[in-house]
Structure 1
Amino acid sequence: MVFQRDQDRLREYLRNDGQKLSVAERESLVKNYIPEDFEVPASHSRERRKPRKTPVRSFFKSQLHHFAYAFTHIIFGIVVRLLQAYHAVVDRVFAIVYHHHRTPELIRKDVRGLKRLPTHLSTILTLRKEEDSLAVLMDEVAELAAWSSCAGIPQLSIYEKTGVLKSCIPALHQIITTKLASYYGSPSQQPNLHLYAPHHPVHGPSTSDKSKSTLTILLLSSTDGRETLVDLTKTLAEMSQNGKLSPEDITPELVDAEISEITTPAGADTVLKPEPDLLLVFGPFLKLDGYPPWQIRLTEMYCTGGRSHGLNGDGEAVEYQGYMRGLWHYAGAQMRFGR
């Protein structure tokens, strides 16, 4: 507690800018309020310490750390390169041993030992930056269509982010038909081909031969993902506000049915599965790149090009051995469905 006389002296000292109290008087003013055992810390000493010189062992210690860091990076780089070379050699061996030679019988033989095949296969492809990138992309789609048809997979969906394939559906249909002819031969041996996209009519024969198998190809883009969910949410909200739909009626089953109508062609003569069983990503890493999220809730995903990417330059190419590895992975996967 500060005494009243000391408070008055301190106020007077502050009002006069410290001109009336001497140094000794100011020290005596605060002396009664300082503990007797109070000592000035050593860090407040006015004497400056001389800077310490860096010892020699600190220099050798830092050099040892740099050497260990560089040595670890060298060993890790060698191991990574050896693994990439090993997988590249294995991929080349598989490419020779399991080459399809555009023969449906060989493809059926490769998948004969699998305990299950996907009913709906989906892939993510990327439009490259070369001049003939669109032609390469369409040829990859045709190859995937031929492989899936020969393997007995009735439904194939192709996701390409920009949606460039939707603008050339007739040309793509012709390219796929030509590719199927190189595998099957005469048109009587080829499967019925139906090609369509959301909000687009089905492109294919008006009448299908019931004695032949049917291959249905769905083209997807980024507009069929988030934007579709946003538009559906707005529509359901407006219907609920206008009293046309009760909020209790908006269930996951209703959303699933509405989205299924978007991805199912009108007048289809076969029952299509909107959700793919297997999603193949032809690239160095698993990147969905805006793939419609609602359709892949229970989908098995497999990345085909991560192990050899960066060494042989074809990590993003659509190759038959990568396609077969995806089917093998799906056949051996455990389907727990959240359990």
Structure 2
Amino acid sequence: MVSRADREILRAEIRSRGGKLNAADRENLLKPYLPDPAELASSSSSSSPPRRSRASTSSSQRRQKPRKKPVRTFLKSQLHHLTYAITHIVFGIVVRLLQAYHAIVDRVFAIVYHHHRTPELIRKDVRGLKRLPQHLSVILTLQKEDDALSVLMDEVAELAAWSTCAGIAQLSVYEKSGVLKSCIPALHEIISTKLASYFGTPSQQPSLQLFAPHHPVHGNAPDPKSESPSLTLLLLSSTDGRETIVDLTKTLAEMSQHGKLAPEDITPELVDAEISEITTLPLQAGSDGRASNTLKPEPDLLLVFGPFLKLDGYPPWQIRLTEMYCTGDRSHGMTGYGEAVEYQGFMRGLWHYAGAQMRFGR
């Protein structure tokens, strides 16, 4: 920029001449403040890269492009496919060998530990166990065949007979649809017939009590003076699970809104007591005139006859401290025995429970 002193000189020069400056005078006046053209040329030449010809640029780009290797790419992909196939075949063989091994073991157990509908053999099988469950629970599934209901009731009858012979006095059977609850009298008759085939004469047969939540009890209370075993059988379905807790919540809320129940009175103890009534055997008078109600609300062992452990809507408050065992997780998929209710699966569940460590949260 032009300094103030130069501006004053410029104005004085313009006044003295009495007119405007021409181009030469203006150039001479600004020449000291302009950069040297030689320096501009040298700096521009040093900063700008050297220009290449179009031919040299295209040739360098062609040299920089990677060369295609179709043979190597093909061999690499085939190597990956071969490795995957070998791994899949090896694992498939190992899985099939394990399934075959467990299927053979199950068949051997089925022959060695066959009960032959003899209570003495079943008692012999469980005699060496450290402990037995007082309350056994089983999850069964209704199949899609035409005779599925009759097969299901026969499985329940077999489980009832095995439990009675093993000394398990309480058995609960869970079936999601609840179809067993609609045929309790027929099921009671089938179980009685099955027990007769195991124990023989009516005097040696165990007493049977069969009931379901909100259903009457079928059977008589056991005689305390009698030495014959007894069995209490409970039928459960999905309606006894989440739907029950929802209905209980609605009932308590309505009672609180109408002033029949104070909000501070709704405690975990009250909810637990209301839920426990679902699986509580209604009081019945025995032969001595006393009320009989000895059902343990929570099962000690839960058996799942299926390919994998699936509770399928089982009431969650019933299995807080329950040991669980799945009988079909090993042999299923090879022979189809995983979903069948068989004696060796029943025994494996008892063996598992006898060897389990009961820490109870510690």
> For the superposition of Structure 1 and Structure 2, which TM-score range results when normalised by the shorter chain?
0.7 to 0.9
1:290 aligned to 313, 322, 326, which one?
313
Give 1:38 deviation, angstroms.
Answer: 11
Q: Provide the C-alpha distance between the structure 2 equivalents of 1:150 and 1:53, rounded to a whole number of angstroms.
A: 77
Structure-2-length-normalised TM-score: 0.78
Structure 2 gap segments, 5+ residues each: 1-46, 50-56, 285-291
Q: Provide the C-alpha distance between the structure 1 equivalents of 2:332 and 2:190, rounded to a whole number of angstroms.
A: 28
Counterpart in the other structure of 2:22: none
- Deviation track 1:159-198 (CA, whole Å, cap 9, x = no partner) reads 0111110010000000000000000001111111000000
2:242 aligned to 187, 201, 226, which one?
226
Q: Provide the C-alpha distance between the structure 1 equivalents of 2:265 and 2:105, rounded to a whole number of angstroms.
A: 54
Q: Provide the C-alpha distance between the structure 1 equivalents of 2:92 and 2:298, rounded to a whole number of angstroms.
A: 41
Q: Provide the C-alpha distance between the structure 2 equivalents of 1:324 and 1:253, rounded to a whole number of angstroms.
A: 36
Q: Provide the C-alpha distance between the structure 2 equivalents of 1:202 and 1:280, rounded to a whole number of angstroms.
A: 24
Counterpart in the other structure of 2:356: 333
Task: Give the partner amino acid of 1:73.
Answer: H
- Deviation track 1:93-122 (CA, whole Å, cap 9, x = no partner) reads 111111111111111111111111111100
2:83 aligned to 68, 74, 83, which one?
68
Task: Give the partner amino acid of 1:310.
Answer: G
Counterpart in the other structure of 2:265: 249
- Counterpart check, 1:91 vs 2:106: yes
Counterpart in the other structure of 1:81: 96
Counterpart in the other structure of 2:253: 237
- Counterpart check, 1:278 vs 2:294: no
Q: Provide the C-alpha distance between the structure 1 equivalents of 2:72 and 2:182, rounded to a whole number of angstroms.
A: 70
2:135 aligned to 115, 120, 132, which one?
120
Q: Provide the C-alpha distance between the structure 2 equivalents of 1:252 and 1:276, rounded to a whole number of angstroms.
A: 20
Give 1:214 deviation, angstroms.
Answer: 2.0
1:264 aligned to 266, 269, 280, which one?
280
Contact kept? 1:201, 1:265, Cα under 8 Å: no
| SS of corresponding position for 1:337 | coil
Give 1:55 deviation, angstroms.
Answer: 4.1
- Deviation track 1:115-141 (CA, whole Å, cap 9, x = no partner) reads 111111000101111111111000000
Structure-1-length-normalised TM-score: 0.83
| SS of corresponding position for 1:230 | helix
Give 1:52 deviation, angstroms.
Answer: 5.0
Q: Provide the C-alpha distance between the structure 2 equivalents of 1:53 and 1:242, rounded to a whole number of angstroms.
A: 83
1:4-19 equivalence runs, <5 A: none
Give 1:236 deviation, angstroms.
Answer: 1.6
Aligned residues: 297
| SS of corresponding position for 1:188 | coil
Taking every aligned residue pair, what percent have the same amino acid on both sides?
82
Task: Give the partner amino acid of 2:317.
Answer: W
Counterpart in the other structure of 1:308: 331
Q: Provide the C-alpha distance between the structure 2 equivalents of 1:102 and 1:303, rounded to a whole number of angstroms.
A: 24
Q: Provide the C-alpha distance between the structure 2 equivalents of 1:219 and 1:231, rounded to a whole number of angstroms.
A: 19
Task: Give the partner amino acid of 1:248.
Answer: E
| SS of corresponding position for 1:189 | coil
| SS of corresponding position for 1:286 | coil
Task: Give the partner amino acid of 2:223.
Answer: D
**In terms of mean alpha carbon deviation, does 236-245 or 181-190 score higher?**
236-245
Q: Provide the C-alpha distance between the structure 1 equivalents of 2:208 and 2:171, rounded to a whole number of angstroms.
A: 11
- Counterpart check, 1:299 vs 2:322: yes
Give 1:306 deviation, angstroms.
Answer: 1.3
Write out the 4+ residue segments of structure 1 that deviate beyond 6 Å after TM superposition. Answer: 46-51
- Counterpart check, 1:209 vs 2:223: yes
- Deviation track 1:223-281 (CA, whole Å, cap 9, x = no partner) reads 11010010011112222233333333333322221111121132141321111111000
1:83-162 equivalence runs, <5 A: 83-162=98-177
| SS of corresponding position for 2:231 | strand
After superposition, the CA RMSD in angstroms is 2.0
| SS of corresponding position for 1:74 | helix
Q: Provide the C-alpha distance between the structure 1 equivalents of 2:312 and 2:275, rounded to a whole number of angstroms.
A: 20
Give 1:310 deviation, angstroms.
Answer: 1.2
